[in-house]
Structure 1
């Protein structure tokens, strides 16, 4: 059997999109910012790595946050906590991403059964249903990413420093800086968001390609044989 190009495209793009969205979900680089720790113990938001003291890099994901000293191996990560964890928009993004991963996995299983490269006749309806689930998964992941990106600076903004959770407490204890002196970080989109955007669009494209399986191809018509006329044999006698 010659597998249609749309099925091949869908069965390749769907797992690729799943891997990209899963990578984005488990990495803590959805947003990032940096803060300069001066020699006197004061903190100030910084846009570059210049100046004296330590430059701390803060990054947040859906389930994990990290704090790292720039240009060093010192890094501390902890599960999201505080206002950021309880923010309804973060929780909504978490639920949408989990639903997207589940639907995409189920769609890939259905598409694999429907394509049936080991037989002569693919199950087009099952393959197209799998493509529908994959496309829906891509839409859910794109909605989650759009919601997070649109509200990125204000997520968990009840913390005036932007360094919430265990990392912020440890940093404040170490530096002995009052909370009111900690300025808000200027946060920006990070690498995991871009992985997620690419993965979401790849899922949509793969699902759309599989959904083309609903259209049945025309079977080629075989040329008809001309009717065979019976001829009677006559003996010719001389």
Structure 2
């Protein structure tokens, strides 16, 4: 079987991109930050979901906390220790429309890439003499390239709005309620947590571009591959003998 180089490149890049995007989707390192706190366990709980009330004395001495957020999970860890807690995303971060949009785009990307790989494998593999084998490979490449674009769109949306995701505070009506909330927040005010892009984003960016390249390579292989083992139709043989008669 003689498979074009573009098909080989596409069928290798497409699963690789799928693995990278899937790894980025399930890991909670889309953004991360660290902050030095000198508060009790209640303050730590307000910052990231709580690490346990039994650590109030340790927290009073000052802790360096590492916070990371993903699409479906957030984590909080004490630096230079094994103390770590993860929980499903919740609150304003979970309700943020941009986070929900990124989740939907990534899920659609994974589904399209998987379907494209299955469809492209029918065209790349020379099982039988299918007349539309090249079309199947090109259609699979189109789905893989579209999946890569969806991944890049989700990553671009998340990266562009990274510091502001989940930071919208609900409006409080009434002057008395507003003043009481301000007093409570000032009493338990926490240090500013500066967030930056983390490792999962880089996995996603690489995976998205690999998907686009793999899909483009498959689309370039629209021409039907040559398969010597496949049966070929031969023109009918004319058994009529022709004789040249000289008069």
What TM-score, normalized to structure 2?
Answer: 0.74
The CA distance in 1 between the partners of 2:215 and 2:152, in whole Å, is 14
Structure 1: runs of 5 or more not aligned: 46-51, 161-177, 219-228, 233-238
The CA distance in 2 between the partners of 1:138 and 1:103, in whole Å, is 9
Name which of 145, 148, 161 aligns with 1:151.
Answer: 161
Match of 1:15 in 2: 15
| 1:119-134 map, 5 Å | 119=128, 123-134=133-144
The CA distance in 1 between the partners of 2:40 and 2:147, in whole Å, is 50
Q: Runs ≥4 in structure 1, deviation > 6 angstroms?
A: 39-43, 229-232
Match of 2:109 in 1: 100
Name which of 70, 76, 87 aligns with 1:67.
Answer: 76
| 1:11-50 map, 5 Å | 11-38=11-38
**Secondary structure at 1:100's aligned position in 2?**
helix
Q: How much has 1:107 moved relative to structure 2?
A: 0.1
Q: How much has 1:114 moved relative to structure 2?
A: 1.1
Of 98-107 and 118-127, more deviation after overlay is shown by 118-127
Change (3 A) 1:119 1:2: farther
Match of 1:139 in 2: 149
Q: How much has 1:146 moved relative to structure 2?
A: 0.2
Match of 1:225 in 2: none
| 1:46-61 map, 5 Å | 53-61=62-70
> In the alignment, is the contact (CA less than 8 A) between 2:37 and 2:191 conserved in 1?
no
Name which of 205, 210, 231 aligns with 1:202.
Answer: 210
Q: 1:183-208, CA deviations, whole angstroms, 9 ceiling, x for partnerless residues?
A: 33110000000000000000000000
Cα RMSD of the aligned pairs, angstroms, is 2.8
Q: How much has 1:117 moved relative to structure 2?
A: 3.6
**Secondary structure at 2:87's aligned position in 1?**
strand
Pairs aligned (count): 199
Change (3 A) 1:143 1:39: closer
Match of 2:120 in 1: 111
The CA distance in 1 between the partners of 2:35 and 2:149, in whole Å, is 35
The CA distance in 2 between the partners of 1:117 and 1:145, in whole Å, is 36
The CA distance in 1 between the partners of 2:144 and 2:7, in whole Å, is 13
| 1:202-221 map, 5 Å | 202-216=210-224
Structure 2: runs of 5 or more not aligned: 48-60, 171-183, 227-241
The CA distance in 1 between the partners of 2:207 and 2:244, in whole Å, is 70
